[in-house]
């Protein structure tokens, strides 16, 4: 087994790094086939791309019989493979990336990814290896050890059902399926989110998404407690946030933003032990925030911004440098355009003048001098006329009491239902602010122009991510640091591939194609063909991709400096 690879490595040992190119190809090992698809040019470049295919993996069919289970099982295997690496590979040996072995395992979220693919016929694992060198000379013996001793051990311990803890796998798969099952019930029950009693919401720190140790567990208030079903018919209790307008109030530091952040990421499913396994949000939730400085391309913000000085018509508003309030208005319209019917706001990241305009200010600054229609004058209408629900953290102003269907107060990290109190206060202390919306809420749909991304068509471009929040297409960078529901750089990378696919597939001049059409088509293709659909030509079997939502793909398109739209 592996004799062929051994003889190549013996031959090129000690030679210049380029000789590693001879390794390209496939090799038969006893119970798997190794593919070396791409060999890095030098020890400092991105690691080489490898795959193994295991025909007799023996995972029971029922563990991956539908799409939901398949995603969960593949996620489990990627983590088992990563654990196998961690146990056996102690850091790098040699120069640059020498000896680094890695697989694109997820963080706290479990999502569809390209690194593991299972079917009854074969289990495929994609991973990276920094081929070892001393300086720029090939370390043949080290490479031999990694490829013919370490790798088979990792494959053996992580890719065969019999060598893995069956109960842990079942729990992983079932946890994911339960989360999906509950998400489906939200729609039927008229809920936008569910937070199970006992959930742990806060995270260890701003950079660690692990649960905060010794946190106060979430407990649902009786009045808004609902029971939802897991896949095997057990009931779980928790707080159901209903459709409509929901306010989260409470003193500073009492846990409002923590609750909202958990809801934001509740569009994803979480690992067993994360604390948010049963914090479930409808899949179309989009976090809306102010993002001054962003680019805007022909967005109809006229329902929120009317005749600002020096601009005039705002029904196809464009700028290279938006203000806080305008960017927040554009973020709303773009989310609705992409199909969202659930908007999430936090006062911490909102523009005050976009959210409120109180009675005194209305008296001092006349309406004809204020181009902004504050969100408070649209929030109720959005729900009643458009079916768009809002969850809003607002500790600083009671003006929204009138508009709210549900008011939840966070008190020492625990929610209380204060809807009735808020209503009573609104009745006892009426405010005389006037509703100022100039007309009905509306916006015009946009049509992406073919030349938006077309300059890149056909070229072999750099498509990649730098961290979670920067996306690269050739020399173009897109800043996604305010797109808060992205959780992994592999999603960002997948978005850069997705934008490239949009360029390839929309060369026609059909001007009736909307942004939503483009996103739906792409989603359908990924559903049908998996993430591999996103691979640009000449880059089959893409590594390191995790599935982005349509909303984040739209967010990238909207922030791409070359993007051009027609109304
Ligand atoms: P707010 O938005 O109401 O000002 P935050 O949500 O930012 O408050 O929370 C303030 C602090 O309390 C944060 O450091 C957060 O980690 C911590 N915290 C939030 N919820 C809990 C909890 N359930 N148990 C322990 N600490 C918590
Ligand atoms: Mg806060």
| Mean pLDDT on 278-305 | 97
Residue 297 sits in the same domain as residue 395: yes
- Looking at the CA of 252, name the nearest ligand: 1
pLDDT for residue 349 is more than 60:
yes
CA distance 13 to 462: 32
Neighbours of 508 (CB within 10 A): 8
CA distance 475 to 472: 7
| Of 124, 128, 138, 146, residue with least CA distance to 21 | 138
Q: Residue 454: its pLDDT value, please?
A: 56
**Residue 395 CA: which ligand 1 atom is closest?**
3
- Distance of alpha carbon 528 from the chain centroid: 20
Residues with CB under 5 A from ligand 2 (ion): 256-257, 348
CA distance 123 to 74: 9
- Edge-to-edge, what's the strand order for the sheet holding 235-242? 225-229, 235-242, 191-196, 279-281
Q: Which of 95-99, 152-156, 354-358, 458-462 has the lowest mean pLDDT?
A: 458-462
Which residue did the predictor score with more confidence, 23 or 312? 23
Q: Residue 458: its pLDDT value, please?
A: 55
- Distance of alpha carbon 431 from the chain centroid: 40
Q: Residue 312: its pLDDT value, please?
A: 79
Q: Residue 449: its pLDDT value, please?
A: 81
Backbone angles phi, psi at 123, to 5 degrees: -110, 125
Residue 250 sits in the same domain as residue 278: yes
| Mean pLDDT on 182-193 | 97
| Mean pLDDT on 89-112 | 91
Q: Residue 512: its pLDDT value, please?
A: 84
Identify the burial level of 68 via C-beta atoms within 10 angstroms of its C-beta, where 0-12 means exposed, 13-18 middle and 19 or more buried.
middle
Given the cut 0.90, state whether the ipTM is greater than it: yes
The answer to whether 441 and 306 are in contact (CB under 8 A) is: no
pTM of the prediction?
0.95
Q: Residue 140: its pLDDT value, please?
A: 95
The answer to whether 316 and 298 are in contact (CB under 8 A) is: yes
Question: Is residue 242 one of the residues assigned to a domain?
Answer: yes
Q: 225-229 and 269-270: which strand pairing?
A: unpaired
Backbone angles phi, psi at 81, to 5 degrees: -65, -45
Residue reference for tokens 């979430």: 218
Residue reference for tokens 């295991």: 54
Question: Is residue 169 one of the residues assigned to a domain?
Answer: no
Max distance between CA atoms of the chain, in angstroms, equals 88
pLDDT for residue 455 is more than 60:
no
Question: Is residue 173 one of the residues assigned to a domain?
Answer: no
pLDDT for residue 129 is more than 90:
yes
pLDDT for residue 460 is more than 70:
no
- Looking at the CA of 259, name the nearest ligand: 1
Residue 83 sits in the same domain as residue 149: yes
Q: pLDDT per residue over 26-52, tens digit each? A: 999 989 999 999 999 999 999 999 999
Domain C-terminal end among 129, 164, 199? 164
Residue reference for tokens 């779980």: 236
pLDDT for residue 475 is more than 90:
no
pLDDT for residue 1 is more than 80:
no
Residue 380 sits in the same domain as residue 422: yes
- Looking at the CA of 258, name the nearest ligand: 1
CA distance 189 to 24: 55
Domain C-terminal end among 429, 444, 459? 444
Q: 285-288 and 342-346: which strand pairing?
A: parallel
Q: 342-346 and 389-393: which strand pairing?
A: parallel
- Distance of alpha carbon 408 from the chain centroid: 26
The answer to whether 284 and 340 are in contact (CB under 8 A) is: yes
Task: Tell me which residue range forms the domain holding 7.
Answer: 3-164
Locate 517 and state its tokens: 């059409």
pLDDT for residue 252 is more than 60:
yes
pLDDT for residue 145 is more than 70:
yes
Residue reference for tokens 């109304």: 567
**Residue 259 CA: which ligand 1 atom is closest?**
6
| Of 564, 369, 352, 531, residue with least CA distance to 450 | 564
**Residue 203 CA: which ligand 1 atom is closest?**
16
Locate 67 and state its tokens: 């799409």
Cα-to-centroid distance, 355 and ligand 2 (Å) = 15
Model confidence band, residue 313 (pLDDT cutoffs 50, 70, 90): confident
- Looking at the CA of 248, name the nearest ligand: 1
Residue ranges of alpha helices (H) inside 506-562 are 515-529, 550-559
Neighbours of 116 (CB within 10 A): 26
Question: Is residue 396 one of the residues assigned to a domain?
Answer: yes
Residue 154 sits in the same domain as residue 190: no
Q: 133-134 and 137-138: which strand pairing?
A: antiparallel
Locate 539 and state its tokens: 């880059």
Locate 120 and state its tokens: 């009854």
Which residue did the predictor score with more confidence, 456 or 231? 231
| Of 561, 555, 50, residue with least CA distance to 331 | 555
Closest Cα to atom 1, ligand 1: which residue?
Answer: 253
Cα-to-centroid distance, 507 and ligand 1 (Å) = 49
Mutate which of 253, 344, 350 for ligand 1 pocket (most atoms within 8 A of beta carbon): 253
Residue 283 sits in the same domain as residue 413: yes
Residue 330 sits in the same domain as residue 425: yes
**Residue 251 CA: which ligand 1 atom is closest?**
3
Residue 186 sits in the same domain as residue 314: yes
Question: Is residue 172 one of the residues assigned to a domain?
Answer: no
CA dihedral 214, 225, 282, 109 (to 10 degrees): 20
Residue 341 sits in the same domain as residue 475: no
Residues in contact with 206: Cβ distance below 8 Å, sequence separation at least 6, in sequence order:
none
- Distance of alpha carbon 86 from the chain centroid: 26
Domain C-terminal end among 140, 164, 188? 164
Question: Is residue 170 one of the residues assigned to a domain?
Answer: no
CA distance 461 to 500: 9
Cα-to-centroid distance, 256 and ligand 2 (Å) = 5
Residue 98 sits in the same domain as residue 222: no
Q: 123-129 and 101-102: which strand pairing?
A: antiparallel
Which residue did the predictor score with more confidence, 505 or 78? 78
Residue 105 sits in the same domain as residue 200: no
CA dihedral 34, 39, 43, 45 (to 10 degrees): -120
Closest Cα to atom 25, ligand 1: which residue?
Answer: 215
| Mean pLDDT on 41-68 | 95
Closest Cα to atom 20, ligand 1: which residue?
Answer: 255
Locate 78 and state its tokens: 């990627």
Model confidence band, residue 453 (pLDDT cutoffs 50, 70, 90): low
pLDDT for residue 233 is more than 60:
yes
Q: How many angstroms separate the Cα of 380 from the Cα of each of 260, 314, 342, 435, 562?
A: 20, 22, 13, 11, 36
Backbone angles phi, psi at 470, to 5 degrees: -125, 130
- Looking at the CA of 212, name the nearest ligand: 1
- Distance of alpha carbon 64 from the chain centroid: 23
The answer to whether 99 and 141 are in contact (CB under 8 A) is: no
Cα-to-centroid distance, 193 and ligand 1 (Å) = 19
pLDDT for residue 509 is more than 90:
no
Q: Residue 87: its pLDDT value, please?
A: 94
CA distance 544 to 326: 35
Residue 508 sits in the same domain as residue 412: no
Residues with a CB atom less than 6 Å from ligand 1: 201-202, 212, 215-216, 250, 252-258, 410, 413
Q: pLDDT per residue over 210-224, tens digit each? A: 999 999 999 999 999
Q: 463-466 and 447-448: which strand pairing?
A: unpaired
pLDDT for residue 272 is more than 90:
yes
pLDDT for residue 548 is more than 60:
yes
The SS3 assignment for 282 reads coil
Model confidence band, residue 97 (pLDDT cutoffs 50, 70, 90): very high
Model confidence band, residue 461 (pLDDT cutoffs 50, 70, 90): confident
Report the CATH number that the domain containing residue 377 is assigned in CATH: 3.40.50.300
Cα-to-centroid distance, 256 and ligand 1 (Å) = 7
Closest Cα to atom 16, ligand 1: which residue?
Answer: 202
The SS3 assignment for 148 reads helix
Q: How many domains does the chain have?
A: 3
Neighbours of 566 (CB within 10 A): 11
| Of 144, 149, 150, 152, residue with least CA distance to 7 | 144
pLDDT for residue 306 is more than 60:
yes
Model confidence band, residue 58 (pLDDT cutoffs 50, 70, 90): very high
Question: Is residue 216 one of the residues assigned to a domain?
Answer: yes
Averaged pLDDT score across all residues of the chain: 93
Q: Residue 284: its pLDDT value, please?
A: 98
- Distance of alpha carbon 462 from the chain centroid: 22
Residues in contact with 372: Cβ distance below 8 Å, sequence separation at least 6, in sequence order:
304, 305, 306, 325, 353, 354, 357
Model confidence band, residue 525 (pLDDT cutoffs 50, 70, 90): very high
């Amino acid at each position: 087994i592996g004799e062929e690879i051994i003889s190549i490595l013996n031959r090129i040992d000690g030679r210049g790094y380029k000789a590693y190119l001879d390794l390209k190809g496939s090799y038969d090992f006893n119970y798997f086939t190794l593919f070396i698809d791409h060999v890095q040019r030098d020890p400092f470049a991105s690691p080489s791309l490898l795959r193994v295919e295991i025909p007799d993996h023996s995972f029971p069919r029922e563990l991956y019989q539908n799409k939901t289970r398949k995603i969960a099982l593949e996620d489990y295997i990627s983590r088992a493979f990563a654990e196998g690496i961690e146990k056996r590979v102690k850091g790098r040996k040699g120069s640059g990336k020498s000896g680094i072995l890695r697989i694109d395992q997820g963080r706290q979220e479990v999502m569809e990814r390209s690194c593991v693919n299972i079917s009854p016929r074969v289990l495929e694992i994609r991973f990276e290896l920094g081929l070892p060198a001393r300086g720029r000379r090939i370390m043949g013996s080290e490479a031999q050890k990694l490829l013919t001793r370490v790798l088979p051990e990792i494959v053996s311990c992580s890719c065969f059902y019999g060598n893995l803890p069956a109960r842990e796998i079942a729990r992983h798969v079932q946890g994911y399926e339960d989360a999906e099952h509950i998400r489906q019930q939200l729609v039927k029950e008229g809920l936008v989110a569910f937070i199970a009693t006992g959930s742990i919401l806060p995270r260890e720190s701003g950079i660690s998404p692990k649960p905060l140790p010794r946190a106060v567990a979430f407990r649902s208030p009786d009045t808004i407690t609902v029971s939802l079903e897991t896949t095997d018919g057990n009931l779980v209790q928790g707080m159901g946030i209903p459709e409509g307008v929901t306010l989260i109030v409470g003193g500073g530091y009492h846990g409002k933003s923590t609750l909202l952040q958990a809801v934001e990421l509740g569009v994803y499913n979480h690992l067993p032990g994360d604390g948010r396994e049963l914090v479930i949000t409808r899949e179309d939730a989009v976090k809306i925030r102010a993002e001054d400085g962003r680019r805007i391309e022909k967005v109809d913000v006229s329902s929120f911004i009317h005749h600002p000085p020096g601009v005039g018509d705002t029904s196809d508003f464009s700028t290279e440098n938006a203000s806080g309030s305008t960017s927040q208005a554009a973020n709303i319209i773009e989310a609705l355009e992409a199909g969202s019917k659930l908007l999430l706001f936090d006062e911490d990241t909102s523009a005050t003048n976009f959210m409120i305009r109180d009675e005194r200010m209305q008296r001092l600054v006349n309406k004809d001098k204020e181009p902004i229609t504050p969100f408070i004058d649209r929030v109720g209408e959005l729900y009643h006329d458009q079916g768009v629900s809002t969850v809003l953290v607002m500790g600083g102003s009671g003006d929204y009491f009138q508009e709210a269907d549900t008011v939840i107060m966070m008190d020492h990290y625990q929610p209380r239902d204060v809807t009735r109190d808020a209503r009573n206060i609104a009745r006892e202390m009426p405010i005389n602010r006037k509703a100022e919306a100039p007309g009905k809420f509306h916006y015009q749909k946009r049509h992406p122009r073919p030349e938006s991304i077309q300059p890149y068509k056909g070229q072999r471009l750099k498509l990649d991510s730098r961290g979670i929040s920067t996306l690269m297409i050739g020399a173009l960078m897109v800043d996604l640091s305010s797109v808060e529901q992205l959780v992994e750089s592999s999603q960002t990378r997948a978005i850069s591939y997705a934008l490239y696919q949009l360029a390839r597939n929309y060369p026609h001049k059909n001007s009736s194609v909307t942004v939503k059409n483009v996103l739906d088509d792409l989603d359908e293709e990924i559903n049908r063909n998996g993430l591999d659909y996103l691979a640009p030509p000449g880059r089959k079997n893409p590594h390191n991709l995790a599935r982005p939502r349509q909303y984040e793909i739209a967010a990238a398109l909207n922030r791409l400096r070359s993007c051009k739209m027609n109304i």
